[in-house]
Structure 1
Amino acid sequence: MRDREMKASSSLILVLVSLCGLAASVSSQSSSDSCSSNLNVDGIRFDTTSLTCISAWVSENFILRYKQASANTWSFVLSTPSTDSYVAMGFSKNGLMVGSSAVVGWVSSGSGMMKQYALDGQTPAQVKPDQGSLTLLSNSSMIASQSNRTYMAFQLAVAQPESGLIYSVGPSGFTPVSPGYQLIQHQDMTSTSVNFGSGQTRTQGTPYTRLRKTHGILNMLGWSILMIVGIIVARHCKQYDPMWFYAHTAVQTAAFILGLLGIICGFVLEHKISASNVSTHKSLGIFILVLGCLQVMAILARPGKGSKVREYWNWYHHNVGRILIIFAIANVFYGIHLGEQGQKWNVGYGVIIGLLFVTLIVLEIQKFRK
């Protein structure tokens, strides 16, 4: 009798385990999506048959389905894991966020909202709702949460969409609210390039990375780091006359040449990426170059030590150099911000500049004491 009870109990446990496993399997299948599964979402307002499916963002399990519905109409359905923030899909000419337009959607308290945003800059104020270059067909947009997935569907009136697609997901717990519907910085993002004909997609890095780094490093070395070294040599090494003058001239000449090459790289880069948000950075760079040219001209017109105007020349030469360095440092930090290089570049450059200024201050204190 006891053996029968034990066998019955064992059988019951096995049945329960099997049922739990089946339920978990069903739950897992219902909460996942892949290109091998059928799209069965309520509320999509256009035909979803024969959609091409790609794994848009593997690490975040973003699935994109699309097709050309007519000569000037493209249909898109973006599937993402359910989130308590926004999801976004942007269309970019060069793979960059700035200058592109994005469709952004979120589900909050059971209701969904979709808006187009113009990504004019990196600050929240420059990400503008209800603006952008995309032409969304009226009554085609829909966002819904179903089976632990968020589905964002829309149609574009365009002959050929931009092949640069950008995806992002907002920080947990945040959804835009009226009246401004302002976004805050995304939690994560990726930039991809898609061949809509073949369905091939690849994650792409920032375009012209090497040229960007060359532009930044040359300007860092030229207009700020070496310029400060040249000032230290001129101000605190005069006991080694005339070697201090030759060293100062050599360092500043090298700084000017490197800075000039950096600015040339900047013009080439601007032409290649057709950037629309670098006007301030470019203007500051030209201003710095003009100051550098004035310094070179001043060296060529340097009066002798006994000249009556030597004092005024010294005042001009020293202060133009200081103004140049202040603007150069500010523009380098601004360039790092525009290039979206992150904290590593800011910290690295800041540490170098900080060490140079500490050295200068220590030398100034020693000079004052003497």
Structure 2
Amino acid sequence: MKLAAALLVLCFLCSLQQRSGAQSCNDAGFSDGMSYEVCNPLSVLNSVLHYTYHASNGTVDIAYRAWQSASGWVAWAINPDGVGMIGANAFLAFHNGSSVMLYTTVFTNTNPAPSDITDGNLTFTVHSRMAEYSSPGGYYTIYASLDLPRNRTSQSTVWQASTSFSGSVPFGHAYTGNNIISTSTMNFLSGQSTSAGGIPRLHRKNIHGVVNAISWGILLPIGAIIARYMKVFKSADPAWFYLHVACQCSGYIIGLSGWILGLQLGSDSKGITYHKHRNLGIAIFTLATVQVFALFLRPNKDHKHRLFWNIYHYAIGYGVIVMSIVNIFEGFDILDPEKKWKNAYIAIIATLGAVALALEAVTWPIVIIRRSSDDKAPHAGHGENGYA
């Protein structure tokens, strides 16, 4: 089981990556007859930014091309004062009937109402704009000529895509996967584009997911299996106890680092909260912490309150494991990695479950025979081998 866990860590750390789907600059033709000096394939959401910067007057001509179905919408924006959606001055292209519409709108918060999505002025001058959709190619192209805000050549840019509408206007997009990392800092003078926090943030999310999957989702179940089944065998006493403690303490310590990283990610996600994932994480950590400190209050095996302590210990322990597995799948839905990683975790959990069922079948007859023998020997001590 530990080998499987190690393999999962190795595979995640070495290979987990988002599917970018960035398009090529080759064979780009534009209906406006323009040619652009710079082509920058963007990292996610199947999109490319073409542009020409005019240093003499601080303007830029852009052609933003994004591959999307005709029933969806795309957007490209400059955020003069920050990173991400709040403050973004956006160009939104979408279909309204048979016509392609292009709205310019400023997003002032992360929860706009449909009525806020209107065609208005941006905070900088837009000299011209238009949008079109190519049916054979399956992409939108947004054309615009604009003044760079404050005449700065380095600008924070955002782009987005979705198929969600409210009435006839674009409204809402996914808050997972590529849709939450589609930001970059574009230097229109040098042509260089650097991540504005998206890729490092994605890397931290991957680490958060890997650490928590290994700790809460694999080490803790292995520790529970050891405690439940190894202690039945007299020859495993007291080794089973130390193995159990090693697994649970390792899982808790490693999980603590993943939990702290999760808090940092949540703090950085202004306006985006995964309530179920967060609440489960807090509950898991709280109960696990209580479980750890309860070890210092563990009565002796023959103490009259030991039975109650055992009931509490089992209930909290199994509860933490169940909630951890549920929350790991919540994390998969949020991070949206390639399906093979989710399938790999399912395979590991299924294997642990199969091992537990097999050990259940093996150990129950031993326990029944041992209890029967104890009943016939009334002076025999119970619990001395740890099974009671």
Partner-residue secondary structure (3-state), 1:304: coil
> Aligned-pair distance for 1:318?
0.6
Match among 55, 65, 70 for residue 80 of structure 1: 65
- Cα distance in 1 between the residues matched to 2:301 and 2:342: 42
> Aligned-pair distance for 1:276?
3.9
Match of 1:327 in 2: 323
**What does residue range 44-59 of structure 1 map to in structure 2 within 5 Å?**
54-57=38-41
- Cα distance in 2 between the residues matched to 1:162 and 1:120: 23
Partner-residue secondary structure (3-state), 2:200: coil
**Alpha-carbon deviations, 1:296-334, whole Å to 9, x = none?**
111111011111111111111111111211222222222
Q: Determine if contact 1:120/1:127 at 8 Å carries over to the other structure.
A: yes
Q: RCO greater where, 1 or 2, for CA within 8 Å and sep 6 or more?
A: 2
Match among 335, 340, 345 for residue 341 of structure 2: 345
Match of 1:223 in 2: 216
**Alpha-carbon deviations, 1:73-101, whole Å to 9, x = none?**
x8764343797343321457997789978
Q: Number of residues paired by the alignment?
A: 318
**Which range moves more in the overlay, 193-202 or 98-107?**
98-107
**Which range moves more in the overlay, 140-149 or 317-326?**
140-149
Amino acid at match of 2:157: L
Amino acid at match of 2:144: A
Q: Determine if contact 1:65/1:77 at 8 Å carries over to the other structure.
A: yes
Q: Determine if contact 1:163/1:195 at 8 Å carries over to the other structure.
A: yes
**Alpha-carbon deviations, 1:230-275, whole Å to 9, x = none?**
110010111122211111111111111111122233344455x455
Matched, 1:104 2:92: yes
- Cα distance in 1 between the residues matched to 2:219 and 2:51: 50
**Alpha-carbon deviations, 1:119-159, whole Å to 9, x = none?**
999xxxx8965558x98439958433399973343869954
Match of 1:277 in 2: 272
**Alpha-carbon deviations, 1:163-191, whole Å to 9, x = none?**
44344556xxx695724644666998765
Quote the sequence identity (%).
Answer: 26
- Cα distance in 2 between the residues matched to 1:244 and 1:321: 16
Match of 1:307 in 2: 303
Match of 1:32 in 2: 29
Indicate the RMSD between aligned Cα atoms, in angstroms. 4.7
- TM-score, structure 2 normalization: 0.63
**Which range moves more in the overlay, 239-248 or 311-320?**
239-248
Partner-residue secondary structure (3-state), 1:237: helix
Q: Which runs of 5+ in 2 are unaligned?
A: 1-26, 367-388
- Cα distance in 1 between the residues matched to 2:305 and 2:350: 35
- Cα distance in 2 between the residues matched to 1:258 and 1:82: 41
Q: Which runs of 5+ in 1 are unaligned?
A: 1-28, 40-51
Amino acid at match of 2:41: W
Matched, 1:193 2:185: yes
**Alpha-carbon deviations, 1:101-122, whole Å to 9, x = none?**
853212451342436596999x
Match among 257, 260, 263 for residue 261 of structure 1: 257
